[in-house]
Amino acid sequence: MRTLKHLFQQNREWAAGIKAQDPEFFSKLAEQQSPQYLWIGCSDSRVPANQIVGLRPGEIFVHRNVANLVVHTDLNCLSVVQYAVEVLKVKHVIVCGHYGCGGVQAALADTKLGLIDNWLRVIKDLRVKHQNILAHGEERTRLNILCELNVIEQVKSLCNTTILRTAWDLGRELSVHGWIYNIEDGLLQDLGVCVTNPDEIEATYLQAISRKRV
Ligand code: CO
């Protein structure tokens, strides 16, 4: 139990499989990474970034936290975004939520889970902010709408970071995308909130929110 041998066994098999296809793969990758994408997604074990979009090691830079939040005081997330945008010079940043998110569900139901309640406070505030949209429908539907609203809000939050604003001011070509993943069928859906410059932030946000109103 101290060594988790089966995971090391699986690791050796995985590495051997890749080497069999491309003997130089790891030695080339060790020299540098040049991913074009930054993924900001949920920590949920069912939402693995690389596998979902079929990308290999070296092709996507990843930050995950519970409920895929971009909080302006979260140095961890901001450092990842800054490194990806300014050093790696990624072209696309993807905020990807997922239906049935446990973090969003806990915020919606106001479940007490401990320390994490503080982290989920952001989504509880969104629940109040969008209470008109969330006033009707079955619990499952309301949960999934809040999952979508959360992505829309985090896209806006990301676009308003000093990092993205500075990159756009410098004329960098950089797109922010908002997607949602369905655990039940493995498929991604684009929420239509792509932002490519600061002038688009507010209009894109308002349009997306108005689509959620019934
Ligand atoms: Co989740």
**For residue 136, what is the domain's CATH number?**
3.40.1050.10
Identify whether residues 46 and 25 lie together within a single domain.
no
pLDDT of res. 46: 97
Strands 175-182 and 187-190: antiparallel
Identify whether residues 186 and 143 lie together within a single domain.
yes
Identify whether residues 81 and 182 lie together within a single domain.
yes
- Is 6 noted as a catalytic residue in this protein? no
- Is 96 noted as a catalytic residue in this protein? no
pLDDT at 212 over 90: no
Count the domains in the chain: 2
Tokens 């993807």 — which residue?
94
Distance from the alpha carbon of residue 96 to the mean position of ligand 1, in angstroms: 10
Mean pLDDT, the chain, whole residue set: 96
pLDDT of res. 57: 94
Tokens 């908002």 — which residue?
178
Give all strands (DSSP E) within 3-140, no chain letters: 37-42, 60-65, 92-98
What does the pLDDT average to over 20-33? Answer: 92
- Is 46 noted as a catalytic residue in this protein? yes
pLDDT at 1 over 80: no
| Lookup: tokens for 62 | 């990843």
57 in Cβ contact with 94 (< 8 Å): no
Identify whether residues 131 and 179 lie together within a single domain.
yes
Distance from the alpha carbon of residue 125 to the mean position of ligand 1, in angstroms: 17
Distance from the alpha carbon of residue 32 to the mean position of ligand 1, in angstroms: 31
Identify whether residues 6 and 107 lie together within a single domain.
no
pLDDT of res. 54: 96
- Is 77 noted as a catalytic residue in this protein? no
Quote the domain boundaries for residue 4: 1-31
| Lookup: tokens for 193 | 């909130």
pLDDT of res. 145: 97
| Lookup: tokens for 23 | 């003997």
Exactly one of 63, 77, 96, 98 is catalytic; name it: 98
Distance from the alpha carbon of residue 45 to the mean position of ligand 1, in angstroms: 9
What does the pLDDT average to over 176-199? Answer: 98
What does the pLDDT average to over 143-151? Answer: 98
pTM recorded for the entire structure:
0.95
Distance from the alpha carbon of residue 101 to the mean position of ligand 1, in angstroms: 4
Annotate 168-198 with DSSP letters as a single string.
HHTT---EEEEEEEETTTTEEEE-S--BSSG
pLDDT of res. 202: 98
109 in Cβ contact with 192 (< 8 Å): no
pLDDT of res. 63: 98
pLDDT of res. 32: 84
Identify whether residues 52 and 98 lie together within a single domain.
yes
Phi and psi (nearest 5°) for 115?
-50, -40
Tokens 């493995």 — which residue?
186
- Is 101 noted as a catalytic residue in this protein? yes
Q: For residue 21, which of 45, 73, 50, 56 has the smallest C-alpha distance?
A: 56
CA distance 150 to 144: 10
pLDDT at 213 over 80: no
pLDDT at 214 over 80: no
**How much of the chain exceeds pLDDT 90, in percent?**
95
Identify whether residues 55 and 124 lie together within a single domain.
yes
Identify whether residues 134 and 180 lie together within a single domain.
yes
Exactly one of 77, 96, 101, 159 is catalytic; name it: 101
pLDDT of res. 156: 98
Identify whether residues 8 and 77 lie together within a single domain.
no
CB atoms within 10 A of CB 196: 15
Query: For the segment 59-98, what is each residue's pLDDT rounded down to a tens digit?
Result: 999 999 999 999 999 999 999 999 999 999 999 999 999 9
pLDDT at 110 over 70: yes
Annotate 22-35 with DSSP letters as a single string.
-TTHHHHHHH----
Distance from the alpha carbon of residue 65 to the mean position of ligand 1, in angstroms: 8
